[in-house]
Amino acid sequence: MKRLLLKKLIEWKDKKHRKPLILWGARQVGKTWLMKEFGSSYFSNFVYISFYNNSRMSSIFEEDYDAKRIINAIEVNQHVKITPGETLLIFDEVQTAPKVVESLKYFCEDAPEYPVMAAGSLLGVSIHEGVSFPVGKVDEFHLYPMNFREFLLAMGEDRLFEYVSNADYERINEFSTLYKELLKQYLCVGGMPEVVERFVEKHDFSEVRELQLAILSQYEGDFGKHVSSNEMPRIRMTWQSLPMQLAKENKKFFFGQVKEGARQKDFEKAIQWLVDAGLVYKVNKVQKPAMPLKSYVDFSSFKLFLIDVGLLGALSELDIESVIQGNDLFVEFKGALIEQYVLEQLMSDTQYTPYYYSGEKSTYETDFLIQKRKDVVPIEVKAETNLKSKSLRAYYDKFLPALALRVSSSDYIDQGWMKNIPLWCVSAI
Protein backbone atom coordinates (compact mmCIF):
# COMPACT_ATOMS: atom_id res chain seq x y z
CA MET A 1 0.00 0.00 0.00
CA LYS A 2 1.14 3.54 -0.76
CA ARG A 3 -0.17 6.41 1.35
CA LEU A 4 0.34 9.96 0.07
CA LEU A 5 0.74 11.29 3.61
CA LEU A 6 4.15 9.58 3.70
CA LYS A 7 5.60 12.53 1.76
CA LYS A 8 4.54 14.91 4.53
CA LEU A 9 6.01 12.59 7.16
CA ILE A 10 9.37 12.71 5.38
CA GLU A 11 9.17 16.52 5.34
CA TRP A 12 8.37 16.45 9.06
CA LYS A 13 11.41 14.23 9.73
CA ASP A 14 13.71 16.71 7.98
CA LYS A 15 12.32 19.87 9.60
CA LYS A 16 14.88 21.95 11.47
CA HIS A 17 12.47 22.74 14.30
CA ARG A 18 10.57 19.46 14.36
CA LYS A 19 8.06 18.92 17.17
CA PRO A 20 6.50 15.65 18.32
CA LEU A 21 3.84 14.60 15.83
CA ILE A 22 0.24 13.63 16.53
CA LEU A 23 -1.41 11.58 13.79
CA TRP A 24 -5.18 11.99 13.91
CA GLY A 25 -7.49 9.44 12.35
CA ALA A 26 -10.40 7.12 13.04
CA ARG A 27 -10.07 3.43 13.80
CA GLN A 28 -9.04 1.25 10.84
CA VAL A 29 -7.72 4.03 8.56
CA GLY A 30 -4.15 2.70 8.71
CA LYS A 31 -2.38 4.84 11.33
CA THR A 32 -0.40 2.00 12.93
CA TRP A 33 0.69 0.57 9.59
CA LEU A 34 1.79 3.98 8.31
CA MET A 35 3.81 4.83 11.44
CA LYS A 36 5.62 1.48 11.37
CA GLU A 37 6.23 1.71 7.62
CA PHE A 38 7.65 5.21 8.07
CA GLY A 39 9.83 4.10 10.97
CA SER A 40 11.26 1.08 9.15
CA SER A 41 11.89 2.96 5.87
CA TYR A 42 13.31 6.28 7.06
CA PHE A 43 14.98 5.62 10.41
CA SER A 44 17.75 3.30 11.57
CA ASN A 45 15.17 1.68 13.83
CA PHE A 46 11.91 2.43 15.61
CA VAL A 47 10.38 1.59 18.99
CA TYR A 48 6.65 0.87 18.91
CA ILE A 49 4.58 1.00 22.10
CA SER A 50 0.83 0.48 22.23
CA PHE A 51 -0.73 1.77 25.44
CA TYR A 52 -3.94 -0.21 25.02
CA ASN A 53 -4.26 -2.34 28.18
CA ASN A 54 -0.57 -1.68 28.84
CA SER A 55 -0.42 -0.41 32.41
CA ARG A 56 3.26 -1.29 32.76
CA MET A 57 4.36 1.11 30.03
CA SER A 58 1.74 3.72 30.99
CA SER A 59 3.16 3.82 34.53
CA ILE A 60 6.50 5.12 33.16
CA PHE A 61 4.75 8.40 32.38
CA GLU A 62 3.03 8.71 35.77
CA GLU A 63 6.06 9.71 37.86
CA ASP A 64 6.96 12.95 36.06
CA TYR A 65 7.54 14.36 32.57
CA ASP A 66 11.34 14.13 32.53
CA ALA A 67 11.86 13.12 28.88
CA LYS A 68 15.36 11.72 29.45
CA ARG A 69 14.12 9.55 32.35
CA ILE A 70 11.21 8.32 30.22
CA ILE A 71 13.54 7.39 27.37
CA ASN A 72 15.85 5.52 29.72
CA ALA A 73 12.87 3.63 31.21
CA ILE A 74 11.64 2.68 27.73
CA GLU A 75 15.11 1.36 26.84
CA VAL A 76 15.20 -0.81 29.96
CA ASN A 77 11.64 -2.11 29.62
CA GLN A 78 11.74 -2.72 25.87
CA HIS A 79 15.38 -3.93 25.75
CA VAL A 80 16.26 -1.44 23.03
CA LYS A 81 18.76 1.34 22.34
CA ILE A 82 17.23 4.71 21.48
CA THR A 83 19.58 6.94 19.49
CA PRO A 84 18.77 10.68 19.08
CA GLY A 85 17.75 11.47 15.51
CA GLU A 86 17.99 7.83 14.40
CA THR A 87 15.33 6.05 16.46
CA LEU A 88 11.66 6.88 15.91
CA LEU A 89 9.51 6.58 19.03
CA ILE A 90 5.93 5.51 18.18
CA PHE A 91 3.30 5.88 20.91
CA ASP A 92 0.03 4.25 19.82
CA GLU A 93 -3.45 4.14 21.39
CA VAL A 94 -2.50 7.11 23.55
CA GLN A 95 -6.16 7.92 24.24
CA THR A 96 -5.91 5.35 27.04
CA ALA A 97 -2.82 7.02 28.56
CA PRO A 98 -3.40 10.78 28.98
CA LYS A 99 0.00 11.35 30.62
CA VAL A 100 1.65 10.22 27.38
CA VAL A 101 -0.19 12.97 25.49
CA GLU A 102 0.82 15.56 28.05
CA SER A 103 4.46 14.38 27.97
CA LEU A 104 4.77 15.47 24.32
CA LYS A 105 5.13 19.06 25.52
CA TYR A 106 8.28 18.11 27.40
CA PHE A 107 9.69 16.06 24.55
CA CYS A 108 9.29 19.23 22.48
CA GLU A 109 10.94 21.52 25.04
CA ASP A 110 13.57 19.30 26.65
CA ALA A 111 14.37 16.54 24.13
CA PRO A 112 13.67 17.78 20.59
CA GLU A 113 16.45 15.57 19.22
CA TYR A 114 14.20 12.51 19.73
CA PRO A 115 11.59 12.10 16.95
CA VAL A 116 8.24 11.08 18.48
CA MET A 117 4.94 10.13 16.84
CA ALA A 118 1.69 9.55 18.71
CA ALA A 119 -1.72 8.32 17.58
CA GLY A 120 -4.96 6.99 19.00
CA SER A 121 -8.16 5.76 17.41
CA LEU A 122 -10.39 7.75 19.78
CA LEU A 123 -7.92 10.48 20.66
CA GLY A 124 -10.30 13.24 19.57
CA VAL A 125 -12.91 12.00 22.06
CA SER A 126 -10.33 11.76 24.87
CA ILE A 127 -9.09 15.32 24.28
CA HIS A 128 -12.63 16.63 24.73
CA GLU A 129 -13.02 14.60 27.91
CA GLY A 130 -10.30 16.55 29.71
CA VAL A 131 -6.92 15.26 28.53
CA SER A 132 -4.52 18.20 28.60
CA PHE A 133 -3.47 18.84 25.00
CA PRO A 134 0.05 20.23 24.37
CA VAL A 135 -1.10 23.24 22.35
CA GLY A 136 1.69 24.71 20.23
CA LYS A 137 4.11 21.95 21.20
CA VAL A 138 3.16 19.35 18.56
CA ASP A 139 2.88 19.04 14.81
CA GLU A 140 -0.36 17.49 13.56
CA PHE A 141 -1.43 15.48 10.50
CA HIS A 142 -4.72 13.81 9.67
CA LEU A 143 -4.95 10.37 8.07
CA TYR A 144 -8.17 9.59 6.22
CA PRO A 145 -9.35 6.47 4.40
CA MET A 146 -7.52 5.96 1.10
CA ASN A 147 -8.61 8.55 -1.45
CA PHE A 148 -9.18 7.86 -5.13
CA ARG A 149 -5.59 8.63 -6.13
CA GLU A 150 -4.33 6.15 -3.53
CA PHE A 151 -6.87 3.63 -4.82
CA LEU A 152 -5.41 4.03 -8.32
CA LEU A 153 -1.94 3.23 -6.95
CA ALA A 154 -3.25 0.21 -5.05
CA MET A 155 -4.86 -1.07 -8.26
CA GLY A 156 -1.53 -0.77 -10.10
CA GLU A 157 -2.75 2.15 -12.24
CA ASP A 158 0.39 4.26 -11.82
CA ARG A 159 0.01 6.00 -15.17
CA LEU A 160 -3.60 7.01 -14.47
CA PHE A 161 -2.45 8.27 -11.06
CA GLU A 162 0.24 10.33 -12.74
CA TYR A 163 -2.19 11.96 -15.18
CA VAL A 164 -4.57 13.00 -12.38
CA SER A 165 -1.74 14.19 -10.14
CA ASN A 166 -0.41 16.40 -12.96
CA ALA A 167 -3.90 17.54 -14.05
CA ASP A 168 -3.03 16.33 -17.56
CA TYR A 169 -6.57 16.75 -18.89
CA GLU A 170 -5.70 15.74 -22.45
CA ARG A 171 -4.64 12.29 -21.22
CA ILE A 172 -7.37 12.17 -18.56
CA ASN A 173 -10.06 12.79 -21.18
CA GLU A 174 -8.48 10.14 -23.42
CA PHE A 175 -8.83 7.49 -20.71
CA SER A 176 -12.13 8.65 -19.21
CA THR A 177 -13.76 5.23 -19.72
CA LEU A 178 -11.07 3.58 -17.57
CA TYR A 179 -11.45 6.24 -14.88
CA LYS A 180 -15.23 5.75 -14.83
CA GLU A 181 -14.91 2.00 -14.28
CA LEU A 182 -12.35 2.47 -11.51
CA LEU A 183 -14.53 5.12 -9.88
CA LYS A 184 -17.48 2.70 -9.81
CA GLN A 185 -15.26 0.16 -8.07
CA TYR A 186 -14.05 2.79 -5.59
CA LEU A 187 -17.63 3.81 -4.76
CA CYS A 188 -18.27 0.21 -3.72
CA VAL A 189 -14.94 -0.60 -2.08
CA GLY A 190 -14.24 2.76 -0.47
CA GLY A 191 -10.90 3.56 1.11
CA MET A 192 -10.55 1.51 4.28
CA PRO A 193 -7.06 0.01 3.78
CA GLU A 194 -7.93 -3.58 4.74
CA VAL A 195 -10.90 -3.57 2.38
CA VAL A 196 -8.85 -2.11 -0.49
CA GLU A 197 -6.02 -4.59 0.07
CA ARG A 198 -8.41 -7.56 0.00
CA PHE A 199 -10.18 -6.24 -3.10
CA VAL A 200 -6.86 -5.85 -4.92
CA GLU A 201 -6.05 -9.48 -4.07
CA LYS A 202 -9.36 -11.12 -5.00
CA HIS A 203 -11.72 -8.61 -6.66
CA ASP A 204 -14.49 -10.22 -4.62
CA PHE A 205 -17.25 -7.72 -3.84
CA SER A 206 -19.01 -10.07 -1.44
CA GLU A 207 -15.87 -10.19 0.69
CA VAL A 208 -15.64 -6.42 0.45
CA ARG A 209 -19.11 -6.08 1.95
CA GLU A 210 -18.32 -8.60 4.73
CA LEU A 211 -15.26 -6.57 5.76
CA GLN A 212 -17.20 -3.30 5.63
CA LEU A 213 -19.95 -4.70 7.85
CA ALA A 214 -17.30 -5.93 10.30
CA ILE A 215 -15.78 -2.43 10.47
CA LEU A 216 -19.21 -0.88 11.02
CA SER A 217 -19.81 -3.40 13.81
CA GLN A 218 -16.52 -2.40 15.46
CA TYR A 219 -17.47 1.27 15.23
CA GLU A 220 -20.86 0.64 16.80
CA GLY A 221 -19.13 -1.44 19.47
CA ASP A 222 -17.18 1.66 20.43
CA PHE A 223 -20.45 3.47 21.15
CA GLY A 224 -21.12 1.10 24.04
CA LYS A 225 -17.55 1.08 25.36
CA HIS A 226 -16.85 4.78 25.45
CA VAL A 227 -20.09 6.67 26.09
CA SER A 228 -22.64 6.74 28.88
CA SER A 229 -25.76 4.61 28.68
CA ASN A 230 -27.81 7.83 28.37
CA GLU A 231 -25.91 9.09 25.34
CA MET A 232 -25.44 5.81 23.47
CA PRO A 233 -29.00 5.58 22.01
CA ARG A 234 -28.67 9.12 20.59
CA ILE A 235 -25.31 8.32 18.98
CA ARG A 236 -26.71 5.13 17.47
CA MET A 237 -29.83 6.87 16.16
CA THR A 238 -27.74 9.66 14.61
CA TRP A 239 -25.40 7.12 13.01
CA GLN A 240 -28.22 5.00 11.60
CA SER A 241 -29.99 8.08 10.18
CA LEU A 242 -27.07 9.13 7.97
CA PRO A 243 -28.07 7.20 4.81
CA MET A 244 -31.57 8.72 5.00
CA GLN A 245 -30.17 12.21 5.64
CA LEU A 246 -27.81 12.00 2.65
CA ALA A 247 -30.43 10.52 0.31
CA LYS A 248 -32.48 13.73 0.47
CA GLU A 249 -32.10 16.34 -2.25
CA ASN A 250 -31.53 18.87 0.52
CA LYS A 251 -28.80 17.19 2.56
CA LYS A 252 -29.00 19.56 5.51
CA PHE A 253 -29.17 17.49 8.69
CA PHE A 254 -32.75 17.35 10.01
CA PHE A 255 -33.12 16.27 13.62
CA GLY A 256 -36.73 15.27 13.03
CA GLN A 257 -35.47 12.47 10.78
CA VAL A 258 -33.45 11.03 13.66
CA LYS A 259 -36.41 11.00 16.02
CA GLU A 260 -39.83 12.59 15.69
CA GLY A 261 -39.94 15.88 17.55
CA ALA A 262 -36.17 15.86 18.22
CA ARG A 263 -34.38 19.19 18.68
CA GLN A 264 -30.79 20.17 18.09
CA LYS A 265 -29.93 20.40 21.79
CA ASP A 266 -31.04 16.76 22.25
CA PHE A 267 -28.42 15.46 19.81
CA GLU A 268 -25.56 17.97 20.00
CA LYS A 269 -23.41 15.72 22.21
CA ALA A 270 -24.07 12.66 20.06
CA ILE A 271 -23.03 14.46 16.88
CA GLN A 272 -19.94 15.93 18.53
CA TRP A 273 -18.89 12.47 19.74
CA LEU A 274 -19.11 11.08 16.20
CA VAL A 275 -17.12 14.05 14.87
CA ASP A 276 -14.46 13.71 17.60
CA ALA A 277 -14.19 9.97 16.92
CA GLY A 278 -13.53 10.77 13.25
CA LEU A 279 -16.52 8.74 12.10
CA VAL A 280 -18.41 11.62 10.47
CA TYR A 281 -17.46 14.83 8.70
CA LYS A 282 -19.42 17.95 9.56
CA VAL A 283 -19.82 20.52 6.78
CA ASN A 284 -21.12 23.83 8.08
CA LYS A 285 -23.33 26.28 6.25
CA VAL A 286 -22.11 29.87 5.90
CA GLN A 287 -24.49 32.80 6.23
CA LYS A 288 -22.90 34.47 3.23
CA PRO A 289 -20.13 33.49 0.81
CA ALA A 290 -17.52 36.00 1.92
CA MET A 291 -13.91 35.96 3.08
CA PRO A 292 -12.96 34.40 5.40
CA LEU A 293 -15.63 31.71 5.22
CA LYS A 294 -14.98 30.58 8.78
CA SER A 295 -16.21 33.94 10.07
CA TYR A 296 -19.66 33.41 8.56
CA VAL A 297 -20.45 29.91 9.84
CA ASP A 298 -24.09 29.25 10.72
CA PHE A 299 -23.75 26.68 13.51
CA SER A 300 -27.43 25.76 13.37
CA SER A 301 -27.23 24.36 9.83
CA PHE A 302 -24.86 21.65 8.65
CA LYS A 303 -24.49 18.42 6.68
CA LEU A 304 -23.09 15.19 8.10
CA PHE A 305 -21.16 12.75 5.93
CA LEU A 306 -19.81 9.31 6.79
CA ILE A 307 -16.08 8.64 7.08
CA ASP A 308 -15.99 6.47 3.94
CA VAL A 309 -18.08 6.08 0.81
CA GLY A 310 -17.78 2.29 0.88
CA LEU A 311 -19.03 2.20 4.46
CA LEU A 312 -21.94 4.45 3.47
CA GLY A 313 -22.95 1.87 0.87
CA ALA A 314 -22.71 -0.92 3.45
CA LEU A 315 -24.64 1.02 6.11
CA SER A 316 -27.30 1.78 3.47
CA GLU A 317 -27.45 -1.89 2.40
CA LEU A 318 -26.87 -0.68 -1.15
CA ASP A 319 -26.61 -3.49 -3.71
CA ILE A 320 -23.04 -3.43 -5.06
CA GLU A 321 -24.04 -4.93 -8.42
CA SER A 322 -26.42 -2.01 -8.94
CA VAL A 323 -23.56 0.45 -8.54
CA ILE A 324 -21.25 -1.45 -10.89
CA GLN A 325 -23.92 -1.94 -13.57
CA GLY A 326 -25.42 1.53 -13.05
CA ASN A 327 -28.98 0.19 -13.21
CA ASP A 328 -32.17 1.95 -12.13
CA LEU A 329 -31.97 0.68 -8.55
CA PHE A 330 -28.89 2.84 -8.08
CA VAL A 331 -30.08 6.07 -9.69
CA GLU A 332 -31.99 7.43 -6.70
CA PHE A 333 -29.10 7.05 -4.24
CA LYS A 334 -26.38 7.97 -6.72
CA GLY A 335 -26.38 11.66 -5.80
CA ALA A 336 -25.78 10.85 -2.14
CA LEU A 337 -22.89 8.53 -2.94
CA ILE A 338 -21.23 10.97 -5.36
CA GLU A 339 -21.53 13.96 -3.00
CA GLN A 340 -20.09 11.80 -0.19
CA TYR A 341 -17.23 10.83 -2.53
CA VAL A 342 -16.42 14.43 -3.49
CA LEU A 343 -16.47 15.55 0.15
CA GLU A 344 -13.98 12.80 1.04
CA GLN A 345 -11.61 13.82 -1.74
CA LEU A 346 -11.77 17.46 -0.68
CA MET A 347 -10.97 16.47 2.90
CA SER A 348 -8.20 13.97 2.18
CA ASP A 349 -6.60 15.19 -1.02
CA THR A 350 -6.79 18.99 -0.96
CA GLN A 351 -5.91 21.63 1.61
CA TYR A 352 -9.40 23.14 1.61
CA THR A 353 -12.07 23.13 4.32
CA PRO A 354 -15.46 22.67 2.62
CA TYR A 355 -18.58 24.64 3.60
CA TYR A 356 -21.90 25.11 1.81
CA TYR A 357 -24.34 27.95 1.13
CA SER A 358 -28.01 28.19 0.21
CA GLY A 359 -29.80 31.18 -1.24
CA GLU A 360 -32.64 33.08 0.34
CA LYS A 361 -35.78 30.97 0.76
CA SER A 362 -33.68 27.97 -0.44
CA THR A 363 -34.11 28.88 -4.12
CA TYR A 364 -30.69 27.33 -4.78
CA GLU A 365 -27.85 25.66 -2.91
CA THR A 366 -24.16 25.21 -3.58
CA ASP A 367 -23.06 21.69 -2.71
CA PHE A 368 -19.72 22.99 -1.40
CA LEU A 369 -17.81 26.23 -0.98
CA ILE A 370 -14.06 26.45 -0.56
CA GLN A 371 -11.71 29.34 0.08
CA LYS A 372 -9.03 29.26 -2.62
CA ARG A 373 -6.47 31.94 -1.80
CA LYS A 374 -8.41 35.22 -2.04
CA ASP A 375 -11.47 33.73 -3.74
CA VAL A 376 -14.58 31.93 -2.53
CA VAL A 377 -15.22 29.12 -5.00
CA PRO A 378 -18.61 27.39 -5.38
CA ILE A 379 -18.59 23.69 -6.30
CA GLU A 380 -21.58 21.89 -7.77
CA VAL A 381 -21.61 18.08 -7.80
CA LYS A 382 -23.39 16.22 -10.60
CA ALA A 383 -23.89 12.46 -10.54
CA GLU A 384 -25.88 12.15 -13.78
CA THR A 385 -25.12 13.08 -17.38
CA ASN A 386 -27.71 15.89 -17.19
CA LEU A 387 -25.34 18.79 -16.61
CA LYS A 388 -27.76 21.69 -16.32
CA SER A 389 -26.30 23.79 -13.51
CA LYS A 390 -29.22 25.97 -12.42
CA SER A 391 -28.06 26.36 -8.81
CA LEU A 392 -24.48 27.13 -9.81
CA ARG A 393 -25.67 29.59 -12.46
CA ALA A 394 -27.95 31.34 -9.93
CA TYR A 395 -25.02 31.63 -7.52
CA TYR A 396 -22.74 32.93 -10.28
CA ASP A 397 -25.24 35.54 -11.47
CA LYS A 398 -25.65 36.88 -7.93
CA PHE A 399 -22.06 36.81 -6.64
CA LEU A 400 -19.89 36.76 -9.83
CA PRO A 401 -17.13 34.55 -8.40
CA ALA A 402 -13.74 34.57 -10.13
CA LEU A 403 -13.99 30.78 -10.41
CA ALA A 404 -16.98 28.42 -10.38
CA LEU A 405 -16.58 24.64 -10.57
CA ARG A 406 -18.82 21.74 -11.50
CA VAL A 407 -17.62 18.23 -10.69
CA SER A 408 -19.19 15.56 -12.88
CA SER A 409 -18.49 12.42 -14.91
CA SER A 410 -17.97 14.53 -18.03
CA ASP A 411 -14.57 15.51 -19.41
CA TYR A 412 -12.73 18.66 -18.41
CA ILE A 413 -14.12 21.72 -20.15
CA ASP A 414 -13.76 25.46 -19.60
CA GLN A 415 -17.07 27.19 -20.35
CA GLY A 416 -15.82 30.63 -19.42
CA TRP A 417 -18.08 31.33 -16.47
CA MET A 418 -17.58 27.77 -15.13
CA LYS A 419 -15.10 24.90 -15.40
CA ASN A 420 -16.18 21.26 -15.40
CA ILE A 421 -13.79 18.99 -13.48
CA PRO A 422 -14.08 15.18 -13.93
CA LEU A 423 -15.07 13.33 -10.77
CA TRP A 424 -11.74 11.52 -10.71
CA CYS A 425 -9.83 14.84 -10.64
CA VAL A 426 -11.08 16.44 -7.40
CA SER A 427 -7.47 16.54 -6.16
CA ALA A 428 -6.62 18.86 -9.07
CA ILE A 429 -8.86 21.60 -7.71
Per cent of the chain over pLDDT 70 is: 97
Instruction: Give yes or no: residues 81 and 187 share one domain.
Output: no
Instruction: Give yes or no: residues 184 and 231 share one domain.
Output: yes
The whole-number pLDDT of residue 364 equals 82
- Residue 424 zone, left/alpha/beta (φ > 0; ψ -120 to 50; rest): alpha
Order the strands of the 45-50 sheet from edge to edge.
45-50, 87-92, 116-119, 21-24, 139-142
The whole-number pLDDT of residue 233 equals 92
Contact assessment for residue 369 and residue 292, using Cβ atoms and an 8 Å cutoff: no
Its pTM surpasses 0.75: yes
- Alpha-carbon torsion (385, 157, 26, 194), positive or negative: positive
The whole-number pLDDT of residue 362 equals 66
Instruction: Give yes or no: residues 136 and 164 share one domain.
Output: no
For 215-243, write each residue's pLDDT tens digit: 999 999 988 887 888 889 999 999 999 99
The whole-number pLDDT of residue 94 equals 94
The whole-number pLDDT of residue 47 equals 98
Instruction: Give yes or no: residues 378 and 420 share one domain.
Output: yes
Over residues 369-382, mean pLDDT: 95
228 exposed, middle or buried (CB, 10 Å; 0-12, 13-18, 19+)? Answer: exposed
Q: Where a domain ends, among 142, 175, 209?
A: 142
Which residue, among 100, 94, 83, 108, has the nearest Cα to 15 in the 3D structure? 108
Over residues 272-288, mean pLDDT: 95
Write out the residue range of the structural domain in which residue 110 sits.
5-142
Over residues 411-417, mean pLDDT: 94
Which residue, among 20, 15, 101, 29, has the nearest Cα to 61 in the 3D structure? 101
Q: Where a domain ends, among 90, 116, 142?
A: 142
The whole-number pLDDT of residue 111 equals 96
Instruction: Give yes or no: residues 234 and 366 share one domain.
Output: yes
Beta pairing, strands 355-358 & 297-306 = unpaired
CA distance 306 to 184: 18
Which residues, in sequence order, are CB contacts of 165 under 8 Å at separation 6+? 149, 427
Helices 193-202 and 205-226, axial angle in degrees (round to 10) = 160
DSSP 157-200: -HHHHHHHHTT-HHHHHHTHHHHHHHHHHHHHH-S-HHHHHHHH
Over residues 103-124, mean pLDDT: 94
Instruction: Give yes or no: residues 395 and 272 share one domain.
Output: yes
The whole-number pLDDT of residue 253 equals 92
Instruction: Give yes or no: residues 118 and 244 share one domain.
Output: no
Instruction: Give yes or no: residues 192 and 49 share one domain.
Output: no
Summary mean pLDDT of the chain: 93
Instruction: Give yes or no: residues 101 and 167 share one domain.
Output: no
Q: Where a domain ends, among 116, 142, 168?
A: 142
For 139-182, write each residue's pLDDT tens digit: 999 999 999 999 999 999 999 999 999 999 999 999 999 999 99
36: CATH = 3.40.50.300
Instruction: Give yes or no: residues 277 and 351 share one domain.
Output: yes
For 87-97, write each residue's pLDDT tens digit: 999 999 999 89
Instruction: Give yes or no: residues 132 and 170 share one domain.
Output: no
Q: How confident is the model at residue 328 (pLDDT cuts 50, 70, 90)?
A: low
Instruction: Give yes or no: residues 138 and 62 share one domain.
Output: yes
Helix boundaries (H) for 376-429: 390-399
The whole-number pLDDT of residue 231 equals 87
The whole-number pLDDT of residue 263 equals 82
Q: Of 53-67, 194-208, 247-261, which gets the smallest average pLDDT?
A: 247-261
CA distance 101 to 130: 12
* Total count of domains within the chain: 2
